[in-house]
Every structure is written in structure tokens, then in C-alpha cells.
Homo-oligomer: A and B are copies of this chain.
Amino acid sequence: MRWDGWGERPGDGSFPEAGLRMLGDELGLSGRRTPPVPLDEVGVAQSRLPDAARAALTEVVGADRVDDSREARIRHSAGRSYPDLIRLRAGDAAVAPDAVVSPADHDEVAEVLEACADQRVAVVPFGGGTSVVGGVEPLHDGFDSVIALDLRRLDSVSVDRTSLTATLGAGLTGPEAEARLQSRGLTLGHFPQSFEFATIGGYVATRSAGQASTGYGRIDELVVGVRASTPAGDIETKAVGGTAAGPQLRELLVGSEGVLGVITEATLKVRPLPRERRYEGWSFKSFAAGAEAFRSMEQAHAAPDVARLSDEEETRLAMAMAGSGSAAERAGKAYLKLRGHERGCIAIVGWEGEPDDVERRRSLTRSVLREHGGVSLGSRPGQSWQRSRYEGPYQRDVLLDHDVMVETLETSTTWTDLLMLWGRVGDALRMSLGERGTPALVGAHISHLYPHGASLYFTFLARRETGAEIEQWRAAKGAACDAIIAAGGTITHHHAIGRDHAPWMTDEVGELGVEVIRAAKRRLDPAGIMNPGKLLPDEEG
């Protein structure tokens, strides 16, 4: 991945000119360009890894797997959150790890952790480096030195076709895992927006959800068993069917974000590779009407595998940016106006599987959507979504070049509270950014359905406050998080806690809940070396 953004190299991303012009008008941009500094201008301190620690680590993984080169350290100094990118693009890699250590397998991970505990070196597990919540920032947090533990070499694959499970190494990226599975006619079916770069270990450690997770299930629903290495030793949970054997340690390790240990492999449910995939667009008069249709569909067991519903503002922005001005487009808009949908909302629904199963389920979904006032827009919006499904982070780089603040955040709640929470979080973002003289555009969509609720994914854009980007971001993010908590939502549906959400962890699970996680951490990581400063709020007093 390029060191300062998304994709393999700069220029991978593009953004429609019409969209940039519209954002210029609506956000009050000056036309200023804000490119990243060149790599050789990035500031990074000398590595502070003590010789004894380096020797101990070298003994485990070999000299060339303890990399303290400037570039390796810069590349492991941040994830891909907005503040990460602001910092990197400004040439600030002051928090770079003191070295990047790349173990070959589970046993080497265990030995590295042992060496680091002995030497009091903090350890930040690093997969694809795609965290958008500060999850891989190498905080020293009281330790003299910190290493990034690069897990990309943990790439084993073992498939049980009879039980439809695969045991996958933590370091496999989404495309690598899919390629290995698809060559056997199988799929994991897990496609978060970070799919191209994120890893299996990252998915599991952060409880990620993918674009088709309404159908395939979130990663936490796909995990059957995990194997983890902790400073106190190994934990492996049984990869069998259901169990009533007490509290589930699997659910303590899944989502542990590297603070309890390192997930080295996971056994996951897989499925036969779908022979048919259909995605299509629908329109609803309003977000409220669409949400009600989605609720009915999900509760009637008629949900598709992909189910996304944009609110009015996200729909307006998407239409404006994608607008081709063609005759077909004008005809489509005229038709929607006729149906009273001219300020409506777009939904994308998609089914994957055997052709006859897809057809059967599609007909079920469609009849519920129609009953609830949905208007089919055919397959073109579906194809367009499919083509652009991973584009968001590439486009972000272009917007960052053009003086735009762009950030996303997400939550989930019950169907009962969904519209209330949606309104309050949107208000919080608009108000907190408006007060700073940088009025915001805020769009949202539902991206994942549960019988009892749904997720909400917000995107907000504003003019960057030059030199105060982090303060501006902190104000908006804090207001949104407070609004989510006040409205009863979860602080994160699939981005995880990391550093950014840690201050809200007490609101999320209560003081005693935080204490229980701390107790588990103290048992597994007595020296506190594992990913310090993440997941848990700062200790009081």
C-alpha cells in the first residue's frame, strides 16, 4: 500500500470533476491544493530499540526480519483514519515504531511476545494497517520502545470441505484468502470496504462486517474457533459446533484488538462460491419509508445478502456526483418524480448463490419491497455499486488533496431507535462543524440488517481548518460519539474501538465491564506490553 494513503500507488484514486465542483460550492472551498509531503521529507525519530531487545528478537526471527529502516517504520506508523492520514501527509511519523518484526508463524509470534515481555518492549500487532480508529498507532504509553509485529507471513490455509470451514493464517489479506478458497470452489464472503488490504487477523481482532454480511454474517458470526498467542501462553478455542461449556473465550479473543494477545489463525465458516450474483437498485420516497421496508424484509426472513439504504442527503450527493446528464438519466429522474420519489432514497440489494436460490430469494425480497412502496430501478445501479464498492478510500485521498475533510463513522441500534439516532448524530455533526465555520455535508446509510436492528454508517465532509485539522476532527467526532451514546447506540458497529473510541468504552460496557476486560488483560499480558493505549480507556487516578 502507498505509505500516505490508499491503494498501491498515488493516483489510483479518482473523483468526478462535477462532484469536486459541487463540493467546492457547497463546502466553500477556496481551490487550495493540499498534497502530501514527499516520503523523504517525513520526520521520524531514531529507533530506540535497545540492543538487548534487538538481539533477542533477531534470535527468534532472524536479522532481516527485525527491520528498523526508515521506510518500514514510516509504513507501520499509522492506520488509515482521517487523523492518521492528516498526520502522515503532513510528514509527521514521530510515532513510528522502533522496529518492524515479522515472525514466520504462530510459534515465532509466541517467542517474540516472550522476548518483548522480558525486555519490556510494547507490541502493536499489524496486519493490513487499515484501521480507521487508531488501532495500529504504535503508542509507547510508558514503554521506552515499541515494535510493530507484522503478521503478513502467517499465511497458512487449511480447508475442511465436509464441514465447510477453513483455518486461515492471520496475515492473509482478503484477496489472498479468497483466491486460495475460490481455487477450491469456496468463498468466505467477507467483503468490507478495506477488503483489498485488510487481513484475516485484522477482521477477527476487530469484529469487522462486510458489504454482504447481512447474508453471510459478520466476521464474528463466521468464526468457529481462534488460536491466539499471548504473553502468558497460548489459547485455542475448540472449532466445533455449538457448545454450552461456560463463558465463551472465543468471544473474548474476537474483538480483542491486540490488547490481550495476537490472533494467529482462525477457523471460519466458508460457503460454495456463488454461481450467480445479482445486485439491483430500488428507490423509496424517504429514508423512513425505506427503513421500514428494510425492517419488514429482514423480519420476514426475506432479506438479501447485500442490503444498503442511503438517506436523502447521501442519495442526493451520490446522484449529483455520478450524474452523466444522459437522456436515460433524465428519463429515470422524470419517472421517479412521477412516483413522488424526486427527493427519495436509493437502496442497493443483492443476492448471491445458486441461480435458482437467488431467483427464489430475489422474488421474495422484491415482493416485500414493492409492498412497502419501493420502486425498482433495475440492475444498472447495482452494477454501478458493484464496480465502485471499494472506491471510498481511494476517493478520500483525492478529496484530501483538495482541502476537504472527509470522515466516516458508524453505529447500530434497534429498529425502534434507528431514526431518532440517525437524526441526532446528523445534527451533532452538522452543529459541531457549523459552529467552527466549516458547515458540513452529512450523509448516512443502513448497511447491515438484524432482526432487532440495523447499522448506520455516516459520511461527513467539510472544508479543512488549515493547521487545526485534528481539533476540527476531534470536535465533530466527539459530538457524534456523544450523540450515539446518548441515543443508546453502540459506539461502533464494525470499525472497532482502537485509540479513537477508547474514551467511550466506559459508556459502552460500564465501569465494571471495563474492569473485567482489564482483569483478563492482566492475566494474559501481565507486563501490559500488548497494544498499549488501545481499546481500554485510560486508568483513572
Contact of A240 among B230, B238, B255, B413 (CB under 8 A): B413
Contact of A455 among B241, B490, B492 (CB under 8 A): B241
Question: Is A208 close to B, CB under 8 A?
Answer: yes
Once the chains bind, are A246 and B242 in contact (CB under 8 Å)?
Answer: no
* A253: chain B residues within 8 A (beta carbon): 247
Once the chains bind, are B520 and A241 in contact (CB under 8 Å)?
Answer: no
Taken together as a complex, chains A and B put the C-alpha atoms of A517 and B251 apart, in Å, by 12
Residue of B at shortest CB range from A213?
B242
Contact of A242 among B241, B412, B515 (CB under 8 A): B412
Once the chains bind, are B412 and A241 in contact (CB under 8 Å)?
Answer: yes
Question: Is A163 close to B, CB under 8 A?
Answer: yes
Residue of B at shortest CB range from A243?
B490
Once the chains bind, are A414 and B241 in contact (CB under 8 Å)?
Answer: yes
Taken together as a complex, chains A and B put the C-alpha atoms of A324 and B495 apart, in Å, by 62
Question: Is A19 close to B, CB under 8 A?
Answer: no
* A491: chain B residues within 8 A (beta carbon): 243, 245
> Closest CB-CB distance, A50 to chain B, in whole Å?
29
Question: Is A165 close to B, CB under 8 A?
Answer: yes
Taken together as a complex, chains A and B put the C-alpha atoms of A129 and B453 apart, in Å, by 34
Known contacts A247-B254, A452-B224, A509-B246; A240/B414 CB under 8 A: yes
* A271: chain B residues within 8 A (beta carbon): 451
> Closest CB-CB distance, A305 to chain B, in whole Å?
12
Give residues of chain A (500-529) contacting chain B, Cβ–Cβ below 8 Å. 501, 505, 508-513, 515-520, 522-524
Residue of B at shortest CB range from A161?
B416
Question: Is A276 close to B, CB under 8 A?
Answer: no
Question: Is A362 close to B, CB under 8 A?
Answer: no
Taken together as a complex, chains A and B put the C-alpha atoms of A516 and B295 apart, in Å, by 39
* A515: chain B residues within 8 A (beta carbon): 232, 523
Question: Is A154 close to B, CB under 8 A?
Answer: no
Copies of this chain held together in the complex: 2
Taken together as a complex, chains A and B put the C-alpha atoms of A494 and B251 apart, in Å, by 18
Once the chains bind, are A497 and B245 in contact (CB under 8 Å)?
Answer: yes
* A511: chain B residues within 8 A (beta carbon): 233
Interface membership of chain A positions 227-269, coded 1 if the CB is closer than 8 angstroms to chain B and 0 otherwise: 0001011111111111111111111111111001000000001
Interface membership of chain A positions 131-163, coded 1 if the CB is closer than 8 angstroms to chain B and 0 otherwise: 000000000000000000000000000001011
Once the chains bind, are A163 and B452 in contact (CB under 8 Å)?
Answer: yes
Contact of A412 among B233, B236, B237, B243 (CB under 8 A): B243
The residue among A230, A240, A242 with the most chain B CB atoms within 10 A of its own CB is A242
Once the chains bind, are B235 and A535 in contact (CB under 8 Å)?
Answer: no
Once the chains bind, are A245 and B505 in contact (CB under 8 Å)?
Answer: yes
Once the chains bind, are B240 and A490 in contact (CB under 8 Å)?
Answer: yes
Q: List 11 additional A-B contacts (Cβ < 8 Å) besides A248-B252, A519-B523.
A: A162-B295, A162-B416, A164-B299, A235-B513, A238-B488, A238-B490, A241-B452, A244-B494, A245-B255, A248-B255, A520-B520
4 nearest A-B pairs in the assembled complex, by CB-CB distance: A251-B251, A241-B453, A207-B244, A241-B412
B-binding residues in A (CB < 8 A): 160, 162-165, 206-209, 218, 220, 224, 230, 232-257, 260, 269, 271, 295, 299, 301, 357, 412-416, 448, 450-455, 488-497, 501, 505, 508-513, 515-520, 522-524, 535
